[in-house]
Chains A and B, each alone.
Chain A
């Protein structure tokens, strides 16, 4: 009991971390795309738990709302609608594009590791506790992020929104089969 209460946070962290990694492995090993999507959902939920553990409650809630509730629903929607053929992992591994994917994965992993070890992520004291003091006042998580986004990082934030908007319009233009749909009412049948 004493061990449990002393190492409670560490135990929860390791359980969530194992769940998150297991979910990630599941995404690429399941053969059925719906099962892969479900294990990705598991990863998202575990990561939300990790955010709570670091006192980033706002991020945890947004993780639930945006990733688990929004993006995963759209993934499932597309998987079911398009009826993806079952691709065996072996054939994907042996295709000509495999070396490119390996290089991309290694580079991305190295970049993330570099960011964690050398960049701002690794700096001590840059955690959530520091974030929650704004102009000397200790405020909630949500307020702190609001201050950060709309005071310090307003211009990058606006630029990112414009980039996202452009990407969205681009996706709509690519996705549209013919302009004739607009003619009468623009019906949206499932």
Chain B
């Protein structure tokens, strides 16, 4: 085979397949982690029948969903009904094409020269992830609308209003990071934190708070899970879905949590960097490979997600809108001014 064929077709495809497989496996086990963590928070045992301590539960769930009958309601808008689960899953997975989880590596000398393990690094990666994840909301809206069910419709409408409202403060929080890193490339943002010897959560603690609150709202998770509020809307936008189509909605939610957590790690906690690289007696931390550091940081954010679900009651819809428009947007604008002045003073 010629060299360009390997470089431009074979290598990216291998990377894509590996990343997709890992992401889907992690997402499947996130559902298990959530059930276990919630169970322990509520003094229960959680799933413990399938496999040792219940560790095969996600596999069993997947098989069950595969084998289930796929129902389409008689009065549903069929084409859109089929399209909606794909429209939420594809953008969620697409975001992983630009997320840098480790620096260039030669895999312990297996490769002739160091190669980045992520699929690509584009110079607008951050905007790309934001844009792609804003496409994901169509799956929810259209799923709700095409089901031809009042509960689904309400869920879809709530989701549309929520997503549009919380994208604004999220964008402003991210601009604060841009001011500090001076780049939209996720790799350059991590490198800027390495060069500054400072993870951006210290100067950007407010931005981190705003970003994560908006991230929770964007993924429709508790306490912002009004689109699927089970006590009022049955199951919200996915009430009519069954089998693998339901599984798509379910997995997309966890994939989006993973995207939000990965971005938070990259923008505020130095991505794959190890903590305290210059402290002599902590130098043994350097043995741990960067990808593990990345995974550990992401896992902390995921845990906070689940912690939220175990502790907070759901917002009312008017409270949700008030928090978004009357608190988070002014706060994020003020934060932008503070960070801007700070960057000017520091860099002169």
Contacts and interface: CB of A to CB of B under 8 A. Distances in A.
B160 interface: yes
Nearest to A140: B123
A41 B139 CA distance: 13
Contact of A77 (B128, B161, B318): B161
Contacts of B184: 142
A190 B156 contact: no
Contacts of B164: 70, 73-74, 77
B141 A73 contact: yes
Contacts of B318: 185, 187-189
B131 A64 contact: yes
B167 A70 contact: yes
B157 A80 contact: yes
Interface in B139-169: 141-142, 145, 153-154, 156-158, 160-161, 163-164, 167
Determine chain B's interface SS by DSSP, over half rule.
helix
B124 A190 contact: no
B124 A61 contact: yes
A2 B98 CA distance: 29
Interface residues of A, number: 31
A69 B158 contact: no
A188 B80 CA distance: 29
A113 B127 CA distance: 32
B13 interface: no
A72 B156 CA distance: 14
B135 A190 contact: no
B138 interface: yes
B80 A38 contact: yes
B242 interface: no
Given A57-B123, A76-B141, A185-B318, A64 B157 contact: no
Contacts of A63: 131
B157 A77 contact: yes
A32 B78 CA distance: 13
Nearest to A63: B131
A58 interface: yes
A63 to B, nearest CB: 8
Nearest to A78: B160
A21 interface: no
Contacts of B145: 34, 76, 80
B206 interface: no
A80 B77 CA distance: 14
B4 to A, nearest CB: 8
Contacts of B86: none
Nearest to A76: B141
A69 B153 contact: no
B66 interface: no
B317 interface: yes
A188 B321 contact: yes
Contacts of A12: none
22 contacts: A34-B145, A41-B138, A57-B123, A57-B124, A61-B124, A61-B130, A64-B131, A64-B134, A65-B130, A65-B131, A68-B134, A69-B137, A70-B134, A70-B164, A76-B142, A76-B160, A77-B164, A80-B156, A188-B317, A188-B318, A190-B154, A190-B161
Interface of A: 32, 34-35, 38, 41, 57-58, 60-65, 68-70, 72-74, 76-77, 80-81, 140-142, 185, 187-190
Interface of B: 77, 80, 122-124, 127-128, 130-132, 134-135, 137-138, 141-142, 145, 153-154, 156-158, 160-161, 163-164, 167, 184, 317-318, 321
Q: What 4 A-B pairs have minimum CB-CB distances, sorted nearest first?
A: A69-B134, A64-B131, A61-B127, A65-B131
Given A69-B135, A76-B142, 15 more contacts: A57-B124, A61-B128, A62-B131, A69-B137, A69-B167, A70-B134, A73-B164, A76-B160, A80-B153, A142-B123, A142-B124, A188-B317, A190-B157, A190-B158, A190-B317
